[in-house]
């Protein structure tokens, strides 16, 4: 009898059991998860330690100039991401970028900056920025979260973590009430390469193409005229330079002040210029690009209702973070078994 009653539980009743969800991290994975879960009628609260949502899809503002110093552009392969891109275009937050110096294959950027996309996806959720989650656990009321200031007042039916794997491993390590060993083992297998980024602005336009992709093994990995992207201020010649991954690893613990002249010299000699920039800032991305992915679309424990999604599950691109989040959203909404 009890088996028959259980068998009759409809998917809708399973959904009803999970109502209040905490999403930790508001990069592409956290944003895509939030969009799907809010659209499914669930209450979602998002927590991110940063000042603006978007994670590595970031735009830095300095001296009234702006730079996409993380993600340079998105490529779109799958049908789900194509549909999402169409929504961003309709909303006016994404546009095609056709830089001189690269082939003509489609590349997409956020407008007026890369970080314009995240707010569009978080609509309908309660978003807590500048809120670093330091630990979490579960008691008879549900999941709780804490910052360095103490425990937050709300309890949740499910917690979904979307941080880069090393930061997720640290957070899982602080979870004492639930056995999260399988999560820790899995995320520890994901590896990232770091990246030093340099933001430059010149008062006069450099006489060169919009993009350079030097051969691997040197100082530079990528250089792009950020101001050639759509809806940017073209009055200033703004550039974003990314150091080669090996060079970034070798110079990871230098300060920004030490790295700036090294990258600037390499860039100026690559483009044959001697002009001094009016602005020069470096930024270190400790976990920039995934070099070893997990090879599973997401992690979900249906019993405890703990999940993990990020680019690190599937690959190194924004679309991988999107696909991982979509897979986890499917699991949460269906209320189904683990993965
Ligand atoms: C320099 C660089 C260049 C790149 N270029 C490209 C490119 O051209 N094309 C492409 O497709 N991809 C590119 N990528 C990769 C792309 O950025 C990622 O694949 C994607 O953005 C990952 O999204 P995510 O949500 O998984 O992680 P993230 O964007 O890292 O989001 C994680 C979020 O978690 C937050 N967080 C961390 N710890 C805590 C905590 N304790 N509490 C609360 N919040 C926390 C962070 O603030 C962040 O917002 C690039 C990345 C970098 C860094």
214: tokens are 């030097």
Rounded to whole angstroms, how far apart are CA atoms 332 and 301?
A: 10
Residue 338 is predicted with a pLDDT of: 52
Q: 27: CA distance to ligand 1 center in Å?
A: 6
Q: How many helices (H) and strands (E) in the chain?
A: 11, 18
- The ranges assigned to domains in the chain are 11-190+293-334, 192-291
CA-50 nearest atom, ligand 1: 47
286 neighbors 253 (Cβ within 8 angstroms): no
What's the mean pLDDT in 73-99?
97
Q: Which CATH class is domain 192-291?
A: alpha beta
CATH H superfamily, domain 11-190+293-334:
FAD/NAD(P)-binding domain (3.50.50.60)
Residues in the chain: 339
> pLDDT-based confidence at 13, cuts 50/70/90?
very low
Query: Which residue's structure tokens are 């491993």?
Result: 169
Secondary structure of residue 309 in the 3-state scheme = coil
**Would the pLDDT of 153 be above 90?**
yes
pLDDT digits 0-9 by tens, 217-263: 899 999 999 999 999 998 999 999 999 999 999 999 999 999 999 99
Residue with CA at minimum distance from ligand 1 atom 8: 72
Residue with CA at minimum distance from ligand 1 atom 26: 310
Least trusted range by pLDDT, from 3-12, 74-83, 294-303, 306-315: 3-12
Q: 56: CA distance to ligand 1 center in Å?
A: 3
Residues 6+ apart with CB under 8 A from 140: none
Residue 225 is predicted with a pLDDT of: 98
CA-132 nearest atom, ligand 1: 42
Residue of 163, 222, 298 best suited for mutating to test ligand 1, as the one with most atoms within 8 Å of CB: 163
Q: 150: CA distance to ligand 1 center in Å?
A: 26
What's the mean pLDDT in 86-113?
96
| Pocket of ligand 1, beta carbon within 6 A | 24-30, 47-50, 55-57, 70-74, 132-133, 162-164, 167, 171, 195, 197, 242, 285, 288-289, 310-311, 316-318, 320-321
Residue 291 is predicted with a pLDDT of: 98
105 neighbors 15 (Cβ within 8 angstroms): no
Neighbours of 272 (CB within 10 A): 9
To which H or E segment does residue 61 belong? strand 60-62
Q: 184: CA distance to ligand 1 center in Å?
A: 19
Query: To the nearest 5 percent, what fractions of the chain are helix, strand and coil?
Result: 30, 25, 40
Q: How far is CA 321 from CA 17, 182, 189, 224, 269, in A?
A: 26, 20, 17, 23, 35
CA-315 nearest atom, ligand 1: 19
226 neighbors 68 (Cβ within 8 angstroms): yes
- pLDDT above 90 coverage of the chain, percent: 88
Query: Which residue's structure tokens are 């956290």?
Result: 30
- pLDDT above 70 coverage of the chain, percent: 94
Residue 157 has, within 13 A of its CA and on its CB side, a CA count of 15
**Would the pLDDT of 117 be above 50?**
yes
Residue with CA at minimum distance from ligand 1 atom 36: 25
CA-72 nearest atom, ligand 1: 8
Residue 259 is predicted with a pLDDT of: 98
Mean pLDDT of the chain: 93
């Amino acid at each position: 009898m009890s088996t028959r009653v259980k068998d009759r539980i409809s998917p809708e009743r399973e959904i009803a059991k999970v109502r209040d969800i905490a999403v930790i991290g508001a990069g592409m994975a956290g944003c895509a998860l939030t969009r799907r879960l809010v659209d499914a009628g669930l209450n979602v609260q998002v927590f991110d330690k940063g000042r603006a949502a978007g994670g590595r899809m970031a735009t830095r503002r300095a001296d009234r100039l702006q730079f996409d110093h993380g993600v340079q552009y998105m490529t779109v392969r799958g049908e789900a991401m194509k549909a999402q891109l169409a929504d961003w275009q309709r909303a006016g937050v994404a546009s095609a970028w056709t830089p001189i110096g690269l082939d003509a294959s489609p590349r997409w950027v956020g407008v007026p900056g890369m970080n314009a996309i995240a707010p569009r996806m978080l609509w309908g959720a309660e978003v807590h920025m500048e809120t670093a989650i330091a630990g979490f656990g579960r008691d008879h009321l549900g999941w709780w979260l804490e910052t360095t200031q103490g425990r937050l007042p709300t309890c949740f039916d499910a917690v979904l973590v979307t941080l880069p794997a090393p930061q997720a491993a640290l957070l899982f390590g602080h979870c004492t009430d639930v056995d999260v060993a399988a999560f820790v083992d899995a995320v520890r297998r994901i590896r990232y390469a770091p990246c030093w980024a340099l933001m430059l602005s010149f008062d006069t336009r450099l006489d060169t193409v919009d993009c350079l992709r030097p051969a691997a093994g040197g100082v530079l990995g990528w250089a792009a005229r950020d101001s050639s992207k759509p809806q940017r201020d073209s009055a200033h010649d703004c550039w974003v330079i990314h150091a080669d991954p090996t060079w970034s690893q070798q110079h990871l613990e230098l300060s920004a002040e030490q790295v700036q002249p090294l990258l600037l010299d390499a860039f100026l000699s690559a483009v044959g210029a001697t002009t001094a920039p009016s602005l020069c800032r470096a930024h270190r991305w400790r976990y920039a690009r995934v070099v070893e992915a997990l090879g599973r679309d997401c992690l979900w424990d249906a019993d405890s209702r703990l999940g993990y999604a990020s680019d690190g599950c599937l690959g190194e691109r924004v679309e991988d973070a999107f696909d991982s989040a979509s897979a986890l959203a499917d699991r949460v909404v269906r209320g189904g078994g683990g993965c």
